[in-house]
Amino acid sequence: MPVLHLLRHAKSSWDEPGLDDHERPLAPRGRRAAKQLARHLEDEGIQPELVLCSSARRTVETYEAIGKALGEPQVRIEDELYAASETQLLEQVRGVPDGVGSVMLIGHNPGIQYLAVTLAGSGNELERIRVKYPTAALGTLSFDSTWVRLEPGAAALEAFWRPTKA
Q: Which tens digit of pLDDT belongs to each residue from 121-147?
A: 988 899 999 999 999 999 999 999 999
pTM for the predicted model, two decimal places: 0.96
Q: For residue 30, with 0-12 CB atoms within 10 Å meaning exposed, 13-18 middle and 19 or more buried, which class applies?
A: buried
User: What CATH number is associated with residue 99?
Assistant: 3.40.50.1240
What CA–CA distance (Å, rounded) separates 5 from 160? 10
What CA–CA distance (Å, rounded) separates 128 from 42? 24
Residue 161 scores a pLDDT above 70: yes
From 37, 73, 21, select the one nearest 52 (Cα to Cα): 73
Domain range for 91 is: 3-161
- Domain assignment present for 166: no
